[in-house]
Amino acid sequence: MQAIVIEQTGNSDVLQYKTLSQPVLATGQVLVKVAAAPVNFIDTIIRQGNMPPGMMPQLPFISGVEGSGIVVDSNGSDLKVGTKVAYLGPIGAAMYAQYTAIDADKLIVLDDAADLHQAASIPVTYFTAYHMLHNVARVQSEKYALIYASTGGVGTALIQLAKLAGLKVIALDRQDEKNQQALKLGADFALNSTKDWVSEVKNITNGKGVDYIFNPVAGDSIVQDLEVLATLGHIVIFGFLAGVGETNLQAEAIKHFGKAPTISYSEIYATYFNDFPLVKSSLNKVFDLLAQGKLNPVYSTMPLSQAQAAHDKLESGQVLGKLLLTPEQ
């Protein structure tokens, strides 16, 4: 089979398109022929060798933590050959390949009519969004949500799921073009984060502020978040694209103590490894929404052999929604 292999860390040119043997199945695993494997920022961090201590996988390594495909060897499981499936897996799921071995009980079974490219774009981003909305923040309809990086993978999922939950959505992005895309996706308002968006949020909410903030940027953005947060509001931080920042979080939160703010951190693998039934039930709900036509995943595709160019595209901010790698069939 063909696969993308990392034998040393570095820039995108360390991604090698190589011929390997098909994986050998362990008890409980099935063989899946991969239809599409999304490119995620975690893949670029692993490729660079910038994982936190103890989390860097051993090399050689095949990237990819999610995707879709078809079961081609059921290996004695209850799954039938030919079943369409989607998958959210841990580091080491090895989805950048024509075939991968997956624990049967971790797969999401899809309808026969499912579009496998659509399905591949769902697991990480839509689970992350659904989990933050319904399991972490437990949102209530008719309230305001502020969504950072609104045209990225999680951002586009958050807009759609937030609107289905009855929220009023304020999208935040760095480019006017992306703001227009956010409005097309269903956002009620779209603001340019390079301008005075704090004042605009206060105007939109008549001075009350937003009830929920979903922030993958972190850095020192917590200062603005607390400024625009409504009383009893909830900030969910799910990434650190701008690093840790210099802000003393405790001191900053105390300035807004009268609002009784909640600040949560959402990391999907904490839930994955400690409460997988919640992950699977949430994913099943999301895929039900997809089957009902209530979700419209935003994605583009590139051949698996072009993984280097795909990583470059993601890291340069040129990806709208999800970018899927598609193995040769």
- Verify that 110 and 131 share a domain, yes or no: no
**pTM, rounded to two decimals:** 0.92
- Verify that 99 and 170 share a domain, yes or no: no
Mean pLDDT of 11-36: 96
Evaluate whether residue 223 is within a structural domain.
Answer: yes
Q: Report the half-sphere exposure of 139 (CA within 13 A, side-chain side).
A: 29
- Verify that 172 and 51 share a domain, yes or no: no
- Verify that 152 and 255 share a domain, yes or no: yes
The length of the chain is 329
Here the CATH number for the domain that contains residue 141 is 3.40.50.720
End-to-end CA distance of the chain: 10
CB 307 within 8 Å of CB 17: yes
Neighbours of 174 (CB within 10 A): 15
pLDDT, one tens digit per residue, over 190-209 is: 999 999 999 999 999 999 99
- Verify that 50 and 31 share a domain, yes or no: yes
Evaluate whether residue 281 is within a structural domain.
Answer: no
Q: What is the mean pLDDT of the chain?
A: 94
- Verify that 132 and 115 share a domain, yes or no: no
- Of residues 329 and 156, more confidently modeled: 156
- Verify that 110 and 148 share a domain, yes or no: no
174 pLDDT band, cuts 50/70/90, is confident
Evaluate whether residue 103 is within a structural domain.
Answer: yes
35 pLDDT band, cuts 50/70/90, is very high
- Verify that 130 and 209 share a domain, yes or no: yes
pLDDT at 98 over 90: yes
Residues 237, 286, 103: CA angle, nearest 5 degrees: 90
CB 102 within 8 Å of CB 75: no
pLDDT, one tens digit per residue, over 253-309 is: 999 999 999 999 999 999 999 999 999 999 999 999 999 999 999 899 999 999 999
Evaluate whether residue 287 is within a structural domain.
Answer: no
pLDDT score, position 69: 98
pLDDT, one tens digit per residue, over 79-97 is: 999 999 999 999 889 999 9
329 pLDDT band, cuts 50/70/90, is confident
Evaluate whether residue 225 is within a structural domain.
Answer: yes
Evaluate whether residue 130 is within a structural domain.
Answer: yes
Rounded CA separation 175/93 (Å): 34
pLDDT, one tens digit per residue, over 213-268 is: 999 988 889 999 999 999 999 999 998 877 888 999 899 999 999 999 999 999 99
pLDDT at 103 over 90: yes
- Verify that 231 and 169 share a domain, yes or no: yes
pLDDT score, position 153: 87
- Verify that 228 and 197 share a domain, yes or no: yes
Q: Which of 267, 290, 306 represents a domain boundary (last residue)?
A: 267
- Verify that 95 and 132 share a domain, yes or no: no
- Verify that 80 and 25 share a domain, yes or no: yes
- Of residues 101 and 152, more confidently modeled: 101
- What residue has token string 């579009």? 115
Q: State the Cα torsion 316-322-325-329 to the nearest 10°.
A: -160
Instruction: Classify strands 262-265 and 229-237 as parallel, antiparallel or unpaired.
Output: parallel
pLDDT score, position 14: 97
Domain containing 216: what range? 125-267
pLDDT score, position 300: 95
> Could you give the number of structural domains in the chain?
2
Helix (H, G, I), strand (E, B) or coil at 109: strand
- What residue has token string 């008890």? 27
Evaluate whether residue 17 is within a structural domain.
Answer: yes
Evaluate whether residue 233 is within a structural domain.
Answer: yes
